[in-house]
Amino acid sequence: MGKIHNKETFLSNIAGNLGRERRTEGVERPVWKKQPQQEVFAGASPVELQEILIKQCETIHTSVDTTTAADLPETLHQVLQQFGASSAVYWQDERFHSFSLEPVLDSLPESMAWSDNDREEMTAFAERAKVGITFSDITLAESGTVVLFSAPGKGRAVSLLPEVHIALIPRSTIVARMTQAAEVIHQMREEQGKVPSCVNFISGPSNSADIEMRLLVGVHGPVSAHYIIIEDA
């Protein structure tokens, strides 16, 4: 349990300025008059959403492959070669096992599944690994975004420190936009009483326009991003 400082005076002052008594309970969100976010790509089929996603990836400087569950190990192998990857860090996540990806990763000169136990060592490895590999928990077609929920074994640094981020995307995770992901997280809060400590919405590689408004790809995070869509998963 954390500490809260100065709450009463601070909030009473707000209520006073609003010209009323403190509200400590009973406030409900109104039924919003308009909700245009619900209409975006409403009724699009999974195949259509995949097309929207792939098209958006052009805009966000992200390369994409499509494959099947059976071919995924071979596809991943090729993508790793394409990036000249001799080292990779990936999540400790049962999906790497269920898609039979461990042999591909073990065949690299250096690879390591994230472990929560040794933070310093894992961070140092992630920092020098060429590639970080994650699975998308929810994928947003509109913005080309992979949504990653933190959990034991799913280190934040895997999608952040290596030069290349490869995200594996089961087609069943693709939704229209952030709206559907927000609903899932809201439901988590309602049903489980909490949300993951870190939810990352990642759309392509890192970039900046801070120097003369020119696009720089790859500032602090990955310089390249690559998505592999698994069409039958």
Partner 1 sequence: MSIRISNEPFDKRVEKGINDEFMRSAVSGAQDRLEGRKSDSTAELGTWEDWRDHAEEIRQHTLDNLDFYLQQFAENAAAQGGHVFFAETKEEANEYIQSVIKKKEAKKVVKAKSMVTEEIGMNEAIRELDCEVIESDLGEWILQLDDHDPPSHIVVPALHKNKDQIRETFHKKRGYSQSSDPQELGRFAREQLRKEFLSADVGITGCNFAVAESGSVSLVTNEGNARMVTALPKTQISVMGMERIVPTWEELDVLVSMLCRSAVGQKLTSYITGLTPSEADDEHAPEEFHIVIVDNGRSKILGTKYQSALQCIRCAACINVCPVYRHVGGHSYGSIYPGPIGAVLTPLLEGYENNKELPFASSLCAACTDACPVKIPLHELLLEHRRDIVEHEGGGFSEKMAMQGFAYAASHPKLFEFGSRSASPIVDRFSEKESGPGPVKLWTKIRTLPSQKDDRFRDWFAERERRKNDGENS
Instruction: By CB under 8 A, name the one of 40, 44, 69, 108 that touches partner 1.
Output: 40
Instruction: By CB under 8 A, name the one of 56, 134, 139, 224 that touches partner 1.
Output: 56
Cβ-based nearer residue to partner 1, 7 or 81: 7
**Contact assessment for residue 176 and residue 141, using Cβ atoms and an 8 Å cutoff:** yes
Binding residues among 123-142 for partner 1 as defined by CB under 8 A: 123, 127, 140, 142
Please state, in angstroms and rounded to a whole number, the distance separating the CA atoms of residues 190 and 47. 31
Q: Note whether 150 binds partner 1 by CB under 8 A.
A: yes
- Give the list of residues 6+ apart from residue 206 with CB closer than 8 angstroms, or none: 217, 218, 219, 220, 221, 222, 223
Instruction: By CB under 8 A, name the one of 42, 103, 191, 194 that touches partner 1.
Output: 194
Name the helix (H) or strand (E) containing 149: strand 145-149
Instruction: By CB under 8 A, name the one of 116, 121, 128, 232 that touches partner 1.
Output: 116
Q: Note whether 83 binds partner 1 by CB under 8 A.
A: no
Cβ-based nearer residue to partner 1, 35 or 81: 35
**Contact assessment for residue 169 and residue 226, using Cβ atoms and an 8 Å cutoff:** no
Q: Note whether 15 binds partner 1 by CB under 8 A.
A: yes
Give the pair of three-digit tokens for residue 122: 């894992």
Q: How many CB atoms lie within 10 A of CB 119?
A: 11
Helix (H, G, I), strand (E, B) or coil at 123: helix
Instruction: By CB under 8 A, name the one of 44, 54, 60, 69 that touches partner 1.
Output: 60
Please work out, in degrees rounded to the nearest 5, the angle formed at the alpha carbon of residue 207 by the alpha carbons of 205 and 212. Answer: 160
Q: Note whether 55 binds partner 1 by CB under 8 A.
A: no
Cβ-based nearer residue to partner 1, 13 or 98: 13
Query: Where do the DSSP E strands lie in 47-137?
Result: 62-67, 87-90, 110-113, 131-135
Q: Pick the stretch among 66-74, 75-83, 129-137, 207-215 that binds partner 1 (CB under 8 A).
A: 207-215
Instruction: By CB under 8 A, name the one of 1, 43, 45, 103 that touches partner 1.
Output: 1
Q: Note whether 57 binds partner 1 by CB under 8 A.
A: no
The minimum distance between CB 187 and partner 1, in angstroms, equals 9
Cβ-based nearer residue to partner 1, 3 or 109: 3
Q: How many CB atoms lie within 10 A of CB 63?
A: 16
Q: Note whether 69 binds partner 1 by CB under 8 A.
A: no
Please state, in angstroms and rounded to a whole number, the distance separating the CA atoms of residues 197 and 150. 6
Cβ-based nearer residue to partner 1, 69 or 151: 151
